[in-house]
Chains A and B, each alone.
Chain A
Amino acid sequence: MTAIEYNQAVKEFSNRVCRFADKLVMNTDAAKDITQDAFMRLWENKDLVDFAKARSWLFTTAYRLALLTIERNKKHTGIEAIPTRMVEQANPDLKQIIQDSLKLLSDVQRSIILLRDYEGYNYDEIGYMLDLSESQVKVYLFRARQKIKDHIKDLKLVL
């Protein structure tokens, strides 16, 4: 990968990678740090990474860095974040409900939902990035969707 291609990758993927990290770690500042770290590693390994695979390489790196950040935060707080805001809101937006419901998912499920819905990756690509088989990705995705669907359904019943 050349410097020009690297800069092109920055322009095309930096916001996407940061959003992916933001939805995973639920912290915008931490997500920016993860994104910068991922692109710094891409620059250091630009001779080894092909531009065609830069996108998946960045998301894989960001996913691993996000998992490390989540583990670090769990050690500090000791309590997993609980989505209480959604219940308190009187008439929440549907997208906001779903984004809040992402907190109910495991890290792998959340990553798969984000890569599938935001980035439009297929099962094979997601499996390559997260080191999972295609069937595993499908199972994780089904369970994640089921959780989100149940959460939306429950909220409708409450409202």
Chain B
Amino acid sequence: MSINKENIEEFMFDYFEGNLGEAQKLELMDFLHKNPELEADFSSWAQSYALTGEKELDYSLSQKLLQTNKSSWFNRYKITITGVFIISIAAILFLFLFKTEQAELKHKVNHYSQSKLPAIKKTTEHPQPAIPEKNTSLTKSKKQLSITLPKPKEEIKIEEFPIVEKENSREIYNKIDSTISQNASGSIPKEETPIKASDKKETQESQKKKIKRKIDFKPSSEFLEINPNF
């Protein structure tokens, strides 16, 4: 495209914008030399670029706009930090409460076993059922509880055994008393058949001997061992 008076301003603009090649620049300079009335326009175009590369002014905004690293770091991670803090506190509290509860349970189990277990061991010695061992402390405490629990039937048998003996001895004693009182009162039944005088004497003597034999009744040594106050 050749330069003319209609498009000269576009060429001047492109010249100062740096859009022209070397050939176009030379062409523009030739045209201006041939048309000196356009030099005023050319200088005005040049002056319109006076602001290019002007030094910047200081508006003193830097200090107001700067962000400190500390606050930015905290703002970035504050949600994470708060979450971790809350979770750790909750975990510590849970562990503390669980341990105290476990310790109290152990203490109760030990106290109960120490107070009750020796007495039971003296009376009964039962083989314990095989319990599969687990690592959890809760199963251990259950195991201890199962050991300490007494079996009421067998314990009662052992404790009631002397009572039964006492009842038997009491019955025997009452029987003896009743026979002695019956003999003393003469309430022994008589035979209805007619008895002769000689027979009467013999029967009386024999009865007296029986009474004497009964009076001379002595309890066995085993009975006396069980009932020393008899």
Residues of A near any B CB (own CB < 8 A): 3-4, 6-7, 10-11, 14-16, 18-19, 22, 28, 31-32, 35-36, 39, 43, 94-95, 98-99, 113, 117-118, 120, 141-142, 145-146, 148-150, 152-153, 156
Smallest CB separation, B63 vs chain A (Å):
9
Decide: A152 and B47 in contact? CB cutoff 8 A.
yes
- A3-B72, A11-B62, A19-B59 known; A95-B54 Cβ under 8 A: yes
B72–A32 contact, CB under 8 A? Answer: no
Total interface residues in chain B, CB < 8 Å = 30
CB atoms of B48 and A145 under 8 A apart: yes
Known: A19-B56, A117-B52. A153 touches B61 (CB 8 A): no
Flag the segment in B37-45, B86-94, B160-168, B169-177 that touches A.
B37-45
B66 at the A/B interface (Cβ < 8 Å)? yes
Considering the complex, give the chain A residue whose CB is closest to the CB of B63.
A10
Are A146 and B40 in touch, CB under 8 angstroms?
no
Majority DSSP secondary structure for residues of A touching B: helix
Closest CB in chain A relative to B74 CB, distance in Å: 11
Partner of B9, one of A3, A6, A146: A146
Partner of B61, one of A35, A120, A146, A149: A35
CB-based contact A15/B67 at 8 Å:
no
| Chain B residues within 8 Å of A, Cβ to Cβ | 9-10, 13, 16-17, 40-41, 44-45, 47-54, 56-59, 61-62, 64-67, 69, 72-73
In whole angstroms, how far apart are the Cα atoms of A43 and B65 in the complex?
A: 9
How long is the Cα–Cα vector from A39 to B63 in the complex, in angstroms? 12
Q: List the B side residues contacting A142 at CB < 8 Å.
A: 10, 13
Q: What CA separation (Å) do A79 and B16 show in the bound complex?
A: 34
Expressed in whole angstroms, the Cα–Cα distance for A43 and B62 within the complex equals 14
Knowing A16-B56, A118-B51, A152-B48, the reply to whether A36 touches B13 (Cβ < 8 A) is no
Contacts of A7 in B (CB 8 A): 66-67
Residues from chain A with a CB closer than 8 A to the CB of B64 are: 36
Bound-state CA distance A8–B111 (Å) is 72
Q: A19-B59, A142-B10 are in contact. Are A39 and B65 (CB under 8 A)?
A: yes
The answer on a CB contact under 8 Å between A32 and B61 is: yes
